[in-house]
Chain A
Amino acid sequence: DQQVKQNSPSLSVQEGRISILNCDYTNSMFDYFLWYKKYPAEGPTFLISISSIKDKNEDGRFTVFLNKSAKHLSLHIVPSQPGDSAVYFCAASASNTGNQFYFGTGTSLTVIP
């Protein structure tokens, strides 16, 4: 039951350019979305979030866009830096299911110096 999908398993971007990571979901009850970043041998770390009442949230180089009608969110990183190379997971939750997050399969981002 793949409620959250990340269709691109990998992405390569030149340093300084924009990285765009995409995520689609199927459950219209999801009202909170997060992006996590994961380095090898470490647990996921929180990056940025957005609630369903917004369509954009920005934090420094990271911006998350939410398109509720399309059930799609994206993470923009600009400018991309080599240290951004990691696996990025999007996750979603619904208030009526409390605190369970549903994760996508992740996108491995490589930023080429």
Chain B
Amino acid sequence: EPEVTQTPSHQVTQMGQEVILRCVPISNHLYFYWYRQILGQKVEFLVSFYNNEISEKSEIFDDQFSVERPDGSNFTLKIRSTKLEDSAMYFCASSWGTTGAYEQYFGPGTRLTVT
């Protein structure tokens, strides 16, 4: 069964450093997403991406964040200057269609720890 993969599984970085989280969505999916979950809290939407551009983003997704699909398979989330409060699980997801009727398939997540 096709699945979304994410690397690394755990990333530790110092405050102020840049991090890039990587995702390989399911190959025939067209829509890509990043979510995060701070420990003990809900899963929060960050951004959706379609046709090589951002289609929606939340208030969390400020100028410190950027997304890119550098080639035909990878989808990346970059945090330019990490803060302590960026520590969370980051989930990548992908879907075939755009409306809520298309389920999103999630990767296993990357645990980001900012020290």
Contact = CB atoms under 8 A, between A and B. Distances in A.
Question: Chain B, interface size: which category?
Answer: 20 to 34
B100 A31 contact: yes
Contact of A101 (B6, B55, B100, B105): B100
A45 B106 CA distance: 7
Interface of A: 2, 4, 31-32, 34, 36, 41-46, 49, 51, 89, 91-95, 97-106
Given A42-B108, A99-B56, A89 B101 contact: no
B105 A46 contact: yes
5 contacts: A32-B101, A44-B43, A49-B103, A98-B99, A105-B42
B31 interface: yes
Contacts of A45: 106
B98 interface: yes
Interface string B41-52: 111110010000
A99 B42 contact: no
A97 to B, nearest CB: 7
